[in-house]
Chains A and B, each alone.
Chain A
Amino acid sequence: MHRYTWRTFSRELSLLVIAAVWWIPFYFLVTIALKPDLEALASPLSFPQSVELGNFGTAWSQGSLGRALVNSIVLTGGTVVILVALGSLCAYTIARRAGAMSTALYLLFVLGIILPFQLGLVPTYAALRELGLVGTYAGLILFYAGIWMPFSVFLYTGFARALPREYEEAAQVDGASQLRIFRKVVFPLLRPVTGTVAIFTGLIIWNDFFLALIFLSGTDNTPLPVAVYSFVAEFASRWNLVFAAVIVALLPVLAFFVVAQRHLIRGFTGGIKT
């Protein structure tokens, strides 16, 4: 039925053309980031005549992008560890215990997914400021974890309910403690969910600008998007420098995308047949 005909070929060709048009912004991004000041101003659209790699050095040092990269890693990593550790532990308990309490807790988390985070923003900001946590990693990590914990528990619970109990029973007969059974037997079996939670929430938090701007701007703890925002405020319209900063900010995710594209897309949508 699905033979490769000349019509398939023309469809393929037109899609490749559309994809190329879709990627034109990235052509500007890369070529302009490589141009020296004068050339970037005089002929921004041409292919670079000379390559000025110094733009990246300027962006890196003037934009404090090294520090921002570390901040992004700490914020994203810290939140994901909390979401995975506390989420899986909580979901396993809900899945293994029956009764009204278990159902009520499950509902608490499911409703939490639907509830938008924006309304809680102002009071949370005020409370964290009272505790001296605005401007710190801990404050924002707490807020991120609160936002995404319902999602994490929901995914883990669904998966944990379908896990057979035989492995846990075997470990129990061998005399392992409950926490040890969870760590050594259950948690490894939950790995597909851990992957989805880590990739999905990790990407969203890595790219978050709104909350990072509110909780961290003006401190040294700002992640990459906020650092790029401040850098552009200072170097507006010097597009070669701005684009060098943008490339530095995009590279980690792009590298991850190239290496683990399938996992990433699957983590984002769940079980796509390729």
Chain B
Amino acid sequence: MVSTIGSEASAAVTVKRRRARRGLPRVPWVWVLPAVVLVILLRYVATAAGGWYAFTDWDGISREARFIGLDNFREILEDPVSRGALENTILLAVTFVAAANVIGLALALALNRTLKTRLLLRALFFAPVVMSSLAVSYIWQFIFSYTGPLNRFLDAVGLDSWQRAWTGDPTWALWTIFVVLVWQFAGLAMVMYLSGLAGIPDELDEAAAVDGASAFRRFWKITLPLLAPAITVSVTLSLIYGLGVFDQVLALTGGGPVDASETLATQIYKQTFAFGRFGYGAALSLVLTVLITAMALAQLSILRYRERRL
């Protein structure tokens, strides 16, 4: 009896040793379970359900959601507020991406090498990126206010006819949001381009300079093509962020005046949670989701294609 147990134990030990020699025991699949369940429920199931609600008139309270086909999407295109929000979103995202990336790239090129205060400058331009968008937007609301610094400055330089309540002006309200977006996030583009520039060997530029290529030509033919991966990442990220812009709008204009600066995100918030139109809010979310996914994929494939051609 005793000997059997002993032999069983020694057999177990040999198995364990053999396994240790052969490598590690397999990691149990159970370990993936919490993360997988979380992601399946909150990303995939929720997204699919949102896709269904987008075609209903659900009010968020009643038990049943009625299927109404494409009615929500027809309304998005026909209703001036939501249509305006859609146009504002695209306009804002595209102009923001262009401006933030051009300024970010210019800053990165300017402080790439040799400057003594390089690290300080990088920190100064990057600092706004880590701050709360809502909180910094309030500083700008003051700057744009009627008695604020911008109008005083215009008055001081003799442009007093340009003075206006910037955030309360139908044509200018959207562009105050644009200014805050660019001011806050040009530093992020800058840091991404700096890391891209760090990967380009100095020798290439020097060799071209020795061959007599002008600074402009060297930038156009060497630096810019080699920055393509950094451009891909930076443009895509800022595009996704720009399409979802919300905080700046709520702090600066609240979507006004008379809905002139609504975006898809503010409309999703108002329609769903202020007016209780859950089905319509889901439809707006679907439009935003399709926009983000389509533009991100298009951007990626275009820039990837250019990368490959080099």
Docked Cα-Cα span, A121 to B42, in Å, equals 9
- Cα–Cα, bound, A26→B149 (Å): 13
Q: Are A105 and B36 in contact (CB under 8 A)?
A: yes
Are B183 and A22 neighbours in the complex by a CB distance under 8 Å?
yes
- The answer on a CB contact under 8 Å between B132 and A209 is yes
- A24 and B152 alpha carbons, distance in the complex (Å): 14
A19 in contact with B31 (CB, 8 Å):
no
Q: How far apart are B262's CB and chain A's nearest CB, in angstroms?
A: 15
Q: Is A229 an interface residue (CB 8 A)?
A: yes
Interface: A93 (CB within 8 A): yes
Contact with A along B22-60 (1 / 0, CB 8 A): 011111110110111011111111110111011000001
Q: Which residues of A contact B8 (CB under 8 A)?
A: none
The answer to whether B138 touches A269 (Cβ under 8 A) is no
Interface status of A116 (Cβ within 8 A of chain B): yes
Looking at the assembled complex, report how far the CB atom of B248 sits from the nearest CB atom of chain A, in whole angstroms: 10
Are A250 and B27 in contact, CB atoms less than 8 angstroms apart? no
Answer yes or no: A193 CB below 8 A from chain B CBs: no
| Residues in chain B near residue A142, CB distance under 8 A | 38, 42
Q: Is the CB of B133 within 8 A of A93?
A: no
Q: Are A1 and B31 in contact (CB under 8 A)?
A: no
Point out the residue from A109, A124, A210 that lies within 8 Å of B269, measured CB to CB: A210
19 contacts between A and B (CB under 8 A): A1-B206, A3-B114, A16-B117, A19-B125, A22-B125, A44-B142, A108-B44, A116-B244, A119-B286, A121-B46, A123-B50, A126-B60, A149-B39, A203-B130, A224-B135, A232-B138, A250-B135, A250-B136, A269-B192
Closest 3 CB pairs of A and B: A146-B42, A120-B46, A123-B49
Interface residues of B (CB under 8 A from A): 20, 23-29, 31-32, 34-36, 38-47, 49-51, 53-54, 60, 107, 110-111, 113-117, 119, 121-136, 138-140, 142-143, 145, 147-149, 152, 183, 188, 191-192, 194-195, 198-199, 202, 206, 240, 244, 246-247, 250-251, 265, 268-269, 272-273, 278, 281-282, 285-286, 288-289, 292-293, 296
In the complex, how many angstroms separate the beta carbon of B206 from the nearest chain A beta carbon? 6
The complex places the Cα of A153 from the Cα of B26 at a distance, in Å, of: 19
Cα distance A90–B34 when bound, in Å?
A: 8
Q: How far is the CB of A26 from chain B (nearest CB, A)?
A: 8
A118 at the interface (CB under 8 A from B): yes
Which of B20, B53, B272 contacts A173 (CB under 8 A)?
A: B20
- Find chain A residues with CB under 8 A from B285 CB: 118-119, 121-122
User: Which residues of chain B come closer than 8 Å to A32, judged between CB atoms?
Assistant: 142
Nearest B residue (CB) for A170: B20
A217 to chain B, nearest CB (A): 9
Tell whether, in the assembled complex, residue A15 and residue B111 are in contact, meaning their CB atoms are under 8 Å apart: yes
Shortest A264–chain B CB gap in Å is 7
Kindly provide the distance from the CB of A108 to the nearest chain B CB, expressed in whole angstroms.
7
| Interchain CB contact under 8 A, A105 and B117 | no
| B173 → A minimal CB distance (Å) | 17
Extra 8 A-B pairs, beta carbons < 8 Å, given A121-B46, A273-B195? A24-B149, A25-B139, A44-B142, A44-B148, A118-B288, A124-B46, A214-B269, A225-B247
CB < 8 Å neighbour of A124 from B34, B42, B135, B194:
B42
- Assess whether A207 is in contact with B24, with CB atoms less than 8 Å apart: no
Which of the listed residues B39, B44, B250, B265 has the most CB atoms from chain A within 10 Å of its own CB?
B39
Question: How far is A246 from B124 in the complex, measured between Cα atoms in Å?
Answer: 19
Nearest-CB residue, chain B, relative to A261? B123
Is the CB of A143 closer than 8 A to any CB of chain B? yes
A120 near B42 with CB under 8 A, answer yes
For B53, what are the chain A residues with a Cβ–Cβ distance below 8 Å? 122-123
| A178 to B113 alpha-carbon distance, docked (Å) | 49
Determine if A146 and B43 form an interchain contact, defined as CB atoms under 8 angstroms apart: yes
